[in-house]
Amino acid sequence: MKQFAQLLETLALTPSRNRKIEALADYFTKTPDPDRGYALAVMTGALSFAHVKPARLKEVVLAEVDPHLFALSYDYVGDLGETIALIWPHKGGTRALPALTDLIELLNTTPKAKIADLIAELLTSAEINERWALVKLATGGLRIGVSERLAKTALAEMSGKDLKDIEEIWHGIKMPYSELFA
Q: Could you give the C-alpha distances from 113 to 49, 52, 119, 159, in angstroms and in order? A: 14, 11, 12, 43
Full-model pTM: 0.91
pLDDT tens-digit series, residues 79-123:
999 999 999 998 777 788 999 999 999 999 999 999 999 999 999
Q: Once rounded to an integer, what is the mean pLDDT over residues 116-133?
A: 94
Q: Once rounded to an integer, what is the mean pLDDT over residues 29-40?
A: 96
Residue 64 clears pLDDT 90, i.e. is over it = yes
What single-letter amino acid sits at 116?
A: A
